[in-house]
Amino acid sequence: MLSSQSFEATPISNSGNSAFSVMYNAATRAGDTLIERFKEDKYISFKGRADVVTDVDIDVERQIIAYLQSEYVGFGIHAEESQPIQGNSGYTWVIDPLDGTRNYSLGIPFFSVVIALCREGEVIMGVTYDPIRKEMFHAVKGQGAFLNDEAINVSEKNNLQDALLGYDLGYVDADASKAIELILSLWPNIQGTRILGSAALGIAYASCGRLDLYFHHRLSPWDLASGILIAREANGIVTDKYSVDASLDSESIIVSNQGLHRNFIRATEGLAWRT
């Protein structure tokens, strides 16, 4: 488990809790609300052809922001459904209240809450919470990665022939077709693939070895924030599709162990998804 030393570098909250405890509480409370409203009728609107948002996304985001602001007045906030809030502390919360909204809106129980804390632009702690399964993936920089109370590591498989690959298609049709083309180019020399519907959980699953590799071509900072840290603390390699170390500014992502990542890069060289 994470030690108390993990939190020494961050300020104590207004209620006397660590930043990690505040983040953890915010995610679990949000998860409780998502479950309570999961089977209710929802108001659904479209940000793009396949990019949906529900009234639950917005309500849960407001809940998270209100709680975080009550605990840390000077922290900035960067959230999916809201305008950025500038802080004066050097710290910024990055929030996705509901990653996997399409799944959620269709009654598919595979979605997550993402909250991360950045200091001067660097992610220093993050959680990806699956409220259906009560699974909290979390990490603090330099302290390892965990699923609930158990330490996690990326897969040790190095060969594509042995690997299960996860990916998602996103909302840009041209890029989605390139991802499908990539999979077809590898088939049948892989074990299989999974399209998940929650990029944050896809990254988390690669971080704990349920997937051997996960890739996505177009993500936003709130999709990536916790996952980048969790995967690296789980001894993973996290890059964009050009094999450059991923950051909050990256759009694409590849998560795996070093050997499988290297073989994936070699096997997909020159494909449209990579270029």
Helices 55-71 and 19-36 cross at an angle (nearest 10°) of 160
Length of the chain as a residue count: 275
What is the edge-to-edge ordering of all strands in the sheet holding 122-130?
76-79, 91-99, 112-119, 122-130, 135-140, 145-147, 150-151
- DSSP letter (8 states) at residue 132: T
d(CA 9, CA 195): 38
Q: How many CA atoms lie less than 13 Å away from 183 in the CB half-sphere?
A: 21
pLDDT interval class at 45 (50, 70, 90):
low
Structural element, H or E, at residue 193: strand 192-195
Q: Give the residues across from 255 on adjacent strands.
A: 214, 238
Q: Which residue has the higher pLDDT, 179 or 48?
A: 179
- pLDDT band at residue 46 using 50, 70 and 90 as cut-offs: low
Determine what percent of the chain is predicted with pLDDT higher than 90.
81
Give the residue from 164, 90, 163, 78 showing the smallest Cα distance to 116. 78
**Domains in the chain: ranges and CATH:** 4-151 (3.30.540.10), 160-267 (3.40.190.80)
Rg over alpha carbons for the chain, rounded to the nearest Å, is: 18
- CA–CA distances in Å: residue 5 to residues 1, 2, 9, 119, 129: 11, 8, 8, 17, 23
Residue at token pair 């961050």: 10
Check: CB of residue 252 under 8 Å from CB of residue 262. Answer: no
Residue 66 binned pLDDT confidence (cut-offs 50, 70, 90): very high
Reading the block at residue 115, the tokens are: 């909250």
